[in-house]
Structure 1
Amino acid sequence: MPATLPPLTFADDLDRAALVAATRDVATLVARREVVDAWDAESSCAGMSVGALAHHLALQPRRVVEVLTAPAPAPGAALVTVDAHYAQAVWLQEDLDGPSNVGVRTRSQQAAADGPAAVDGMLAATLAALDGALAHASTTVLVPWTGAAMATDDYLVTRLLEMVVHADDLASSVGLPTPELPAGAVVPVLRTLTDLAVRRHGQAALVRTLTRPQRAPATVAAF
């Protein structure tokens, strides 16, 4: 039976500079010749071209700037923690052909049609605005596609998770090594994935996978 865990939050406990460094790493990956040359080829994510995946990856830090510079939630708004954010995520309750997942692929494919230079330009504009957005961010943000309020650091972890996972997807799509993103970006993501895996599969499943593969279940996927 899945373990009962306390709410997962990173409020006031995140190295925000690591997000900037990770965004630079993402920009370097997206600009690689291997990615540009394979732009229209199928990626490691079923139903997405390499270009669509590159755009979706680049969009994550862009969403940080957009959300952090939008009006803050009303004072006293109830906050959704990281675990609750994923428990309520519509895309996780659907299969790959569900409306939310199809919508992501469709929008990404349409945006990728503008070509690699457009994605590079989006990342350059994001990097130019990111430090200021982080420095002047309120302590809470409103996530527009869910309507929920989150602690700013918790929201940032959800974008870091997307960046870490999809950087690996993109690199594997074109035969490149997975970028070594900063520890300040990766550690919160690993903590989140571990927490979600335990909630989904239980403590024993994760412990056995990490230490006793002969007794491990077939999967402890967080999603």
Structure 2
Amino acid sequence: MTGARTDFLAAAAAAEELLRRPEVARAWRLPSALAQWSVGGLAGHLAYQVLCVPEVLAAPEPAEPVVGLLDHYARSAWVGAALDADVNVRIRQGSEAFAADGPAVLHRRLAAVLPELADTLAAADATRSARLPFWGPWALTLDDLLATRTMELAVHGDDLAVSVAVDGPELPPETAESVIGLLARLAVRRHGRAAVLRTLSRAERASGSIAAF
């Protein structure tokens, strides 16, 4: 199995561990650490990153052209969009709806897919392309799509853990490194190589944030 697939499975297992925490259930209707997100909505968004994958794999291979990973983010409408932009409002509303049945049901849904997911991914064609239904007219390789979901799981898992004041599950070092590598590439695309290099190596030359998004 490819590194992208094992990274995704590790991040999915970490999300399941976090969603079973009682602190998440107790804070379900409270505001999260992210502006305009509830804890429940954030949990729904986290779980969706895993639950969408079996649906993607069950769908026919898309006819849309395959683009590279960084090109995908360059085309994505949510990148750089304001909190009240239509795309971000739809994401929040969809996540709240996804979690509407409550923490126990959401956790059961996520836990139920994990045992079969490893076998499904191991059997998937290495050359297969995939896409999510709300993307524009493009697709990614399956491994690149999984890389995007792994990054979402890592970032929003940390958001959720901070929201309920717990330590999030530790990702395996290789999975964390793959996420950090993707975020670094996106930071370079946004800020330029010099800004990222200086901020990481010379505090006195840091020009400000080098956040990927």
Relative to the length of structure 1, the TM-score reads 0.88
How far off its partner does 1:149 sit?
2.0
How far off its partner does 1:200 sit?
1.1
How far off its partner does 1:178 sit?
3.0
Q: Which residue of 2 aligns with 1:67?
A: 56
CA RMSD of aligned residues (A): 1.7
Whole-Å Cα distance in 2 between the matches of residues 148 and 179 of structure 1? 33
Whole-Å Cα distance in 1 between the matches of residues 113 and 129 of structure 2? 18
How far off its partner does 1:86 sit?
0.3
SS in 1 for 2:167: coil
Q: Which residue of 1 aligns with 2:143?
A: 153
Whole-Å Cα distance in 1 between the matches of residues 2 and 9 of structure 2? 16
How far off its partner does 1:154 sit?
0.6
Whole-Å Cα distance in 1 between the matches of residues 102 and 197 of structure 2? 44
Matches within 5 A, 1:4-153: 14-74=3-63, 78-138=65-125, 139-143=127-131, 144-146=133-135, 147-153=137-143
Q: After alignment, is 85-94 or 104-113 more displaced?
A: 104-113
How far off its partner does 1:13 sit?
5.5
List runs of 5+ in structure 1 lacking aligned partners. Answer: 1-11
Equivalent residue for 2:163, pick from 147, 165, 173:
173
Whole-Å Cα distance in 2 between the matches of residues 180 and 191 of structure 1? 17
How far off its partner does 1:71 sit?
1.1
Whole-Å Cα distance in 1 between the matches of residues 159 and 33 of structure 2? 6
Q: How many residues align?
A: 210
SS in 1 for 2:83: coil
Whole-Å Cα distance in 2 between the matches of residues 63 and 110 of structure 1? 15
How far off its partner does 1:207 sit?
1.0
Q: After alignment, is 38-47 or 19-28 more displaced?
A: 19-28
Q: Kindly, what percent of the aligned residue pairs are identical?
A: 45
Matches within 5 A, 1:159-198: 159-198=149-188
Q: Which residue of 2 aligns with 1:211?
A: 201
How far off its partner does 1:15 sit?
4.3
